[in-house]
Amino acid sequence: MKILTLQINPCCRSYKISRAALNADADLTYDLILEAKGYDQRFEKLGYVFAEPAYWREHLPRTLIEKIRYFVLDERLAGRRLQGIIRDSAADLVNSRGPDRLGYFAHRFGSVPVVHDVHDLYSIFPRRQTDQRNVRYRFREQYMYRKQLRWEKYTHEELDGLIYTSSYMLDYARSIYRISCETVIVPNAVLAEDVPEERLPKLSKTEGGRHLVYVGDMNQPKLEKLLDAARVGLHVHIYPIGDPAELADLRKVSSDQPLIHWKDTLPYRRLLLEFTQYDFGVIFWYRGATDEIFQTSLPNKIFEYLVAGLPVIVGPFRSLSDFVESRGVGFSVEEPEQILDRVNEEFEVPFREEYTMEYYMPDLLDFYRRVIRERGRPL
């Protein structure tokens, strides 16, 4: 079974799924197609590449004129280029991952079944976490927002299969789209080979206090909630992802808070090991965000905390609170100061196979085969 994977750039989710699937099925092969050279250097340095990539567009747009051509005028030409790559690959199926436009292009112009990995639903993702006052930006953003919605609708209603990160996301998608294709759930779990095999001493035992950890994208609204936790006397250790200049500004904003501890970027396995020294992982929220995305998503970090043996403190949203509370591995709060009511409780966080990506591979491989059998040529 040969799968052609179509992505905008390397990412950790695609890497984990592909590594786990290749390990689970010796007859499976993946070819990797990235959209264009010159994507964000932060992604290139992470090295999330599971096959030698090819590219289907000449380069990513930089100027306004290039963006107009890229998203408005170049659709048919780009589609024909992708059509040739899919044809020449002799793949049994295309698995697009990430932006919905990739699923749209592969299905409209390709000749084999297409399944799309819905990382997040664009229609409910909080697009404006920071203020954008430029009028020209607002006009361009509104145009692209409407176009993205059309791509999302097409992907959900026309493709041959859909992969979701949680059952909550699938349920919500069914409530707004006419989904008739095959579906499967593959959460943002951790590769079994990356699960820490040892534990570091708890900082709360050696230094006192209670120590929380946060990992992920960082901006001003997200930092505000972490600052709230520090102000009520909790140590907060931050492993941030973001633009270096913006992160430097955020460090300045929090410089008067001695309980905020900024950390350097670490190799992934070392990062998961470092988590073991803290008391809780946190998945906070921020005022003004679109709540529905938090009602439906289970981000990478919830599995990363759990494989490190950390209980998780989450915002009061359905998918997050259901997940941790049904397993007895954490709790939800409305505001950070409420953490103090439960932060000294003891939580047992035993390792569970469902926290690893390998656990979901039999379902994914069966899903691939069903789609190919129903929509493609026989294996």
CB atoms within 10 A of CB 11: 16
Percent residues over pLDDT 70 in the chain? 86
Rounded to 5, what percent of the chain is helix, strand, coil? 45, 15, 35
Q: What is the pLDDT of residue 73?
A: 63
> Is residue 46's pLDDT more than 70?
no
Confidence of residue 44 (pLDDT cuts 50, 70, 90): very low
Is residue 22 within 8 Å of residue 5, measured between CB atoms?
A: no
How far apart CA 103 and CA 116 sit, in angstroms, is 6
DSSP letters of 134-189? -HHHHHHHHHHHHHHHHHHHHHHHHSSEEEES-HHHHHHHHHHS---SEEEE----
- Residue pLDDT, tens place only, 162-202: 999 999 999 999 999 999 999 999 999 999 999 999 999 99
The H or E element spanning position 236 is strand 235-241
Confidence of residue 38 (pLDDT cuts 50, 70, 90): low
How far apart CA 225 and CA 336 sit, in angstroms, is 7
Strand 312-314 versus strand 330-332 pairing type:
parallel
Residue 237's DSSP bridge partners are: 213, 261
- Residue pLDDT, tens place only, 48-65: 556 677 787 766 667 777
> Is residue 233's pLDDT more than 70?
yes
How far apart CA 367 and CA 379 sit, in angstroms, is 14
- Residue pLDDT, tens place only, 63-110: 777 777 666 666 777 778 888 888 888 899 999 998 898 999 999 888
Confidence of residue 325 (pLDDT cuts 50, 70, 90): very high
Q: What is the pLDDT of residue 50?
A: 60
pTM of the model: 0.88
Greater model confidence, 207 or 294: 207
Q: What is the pLDDT of residue 289?
A: 53
SS3 of residue 283 by DSSP:
strand
Nearest to 153 by CA among 116, 196, 201, 128: 116
CB atoms within 10 A of CB 86: 22
